[in-house]
């Protein structure tokens, strides 16, 4: 599995992938060599694209990540690669991904985000083969919602006790 964006969420994804016996290549962010082991290595983007069976996006949207999945990067991938994007919408050039899905270059895609939400009826991914699109609900499992509620309660309790956390106006 190639993971583009190796912050907290990318690292969590890597732990799950390794639990399933996958070897992981990581790209992006500050490299923490202490995380490397026989099943997890940092790689260049070109190395990751060339050898990954699954590519999962977990990077922020910056100018250098906008459209990171496009016809040129897809051309560098193995035929039959699977692409997952639960990160940011503009990371993928949707027309290029749809073409790659329909040609068989990309075997499948799982997307929790699209360029315009709600999705427009003319989005090329709607008619692409082997493309699963969820309506930006990757956070929806019961455990995720419970965690969000616990964080909200903790924040409120901290505020009421005079020790606010996650303050955005200072």
pLDDT at 170 over 60: no
Cα–Cα distance between 154 and 160 in angstroms, integer?
10
Considering only residues 116 and 54, tell me which one the structure prediction assigns the higher pLDDT: 54
Q: Is the dihedral of CA 64, 67, 69, 71 positive or negative?
A: negative
pLDDT in tens, 2-38: 999 999 999 999 999 999 999 999 998 789 999 999 9
β-partners of residue 55 are 2, 83
Catalytic residue among 47, 89, 95, 136: 136
3-class secondary-structure state, position 30: coil
The CATH number of the structural domain formed by 2-137 is: 3.40.50.720
Question: Omega before 103 cis (within 30°)?
Answer: no
What's the whole-number mean pLDDT along residues 29-55? 96
Catalytic residue among 15, 117, 145, 147: 117
User: Residue 72: phi, psi to the nearest 5?
Assistant: -70, -45
Active-site residue, 88 included: yes
pLDDT at position 127, please? 97
pLDDT at 66 over 90: yes
pLDDT at position 40, please? 98
For the chain, the domains span: 2-137, 139-170
């Amino acid at each position: 599995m190639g993971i583009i964006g190796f912050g907290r969420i990318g690292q969590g994804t890597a732990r799950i992938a390794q639990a399933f016996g996958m070897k992981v290549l990581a790209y992006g962010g500050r490299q923490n060599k202490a995380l490397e082991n026989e099943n997890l290595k940092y790689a260049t983007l070109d190395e990751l694209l060339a050898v990954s069976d699954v590519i999962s996006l977990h990077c922020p949207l910056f100018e250098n990540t906008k459209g990171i999945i496009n016809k040129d990067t897809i051309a560098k991938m193995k035929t039959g690669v699977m692409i997952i994007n639960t990160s940011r919408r503009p990371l993928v050039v949707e027309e290029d991904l749809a073409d790659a899905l329909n040609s068989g270059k990309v075997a499948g895609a799982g997307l929790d985000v699209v360029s315009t939400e709600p999705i427009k009826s003319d989005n090329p991914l709607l008619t692409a083969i082997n493309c699963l699109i969820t309506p930006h609900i990757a956070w929806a499992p019961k455990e995720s919602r419970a965690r969000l509620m616990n964080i909200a309660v903790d924040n409120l309790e901290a505020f009421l006790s005079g020790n606010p956390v996650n303050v955005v106006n200072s």
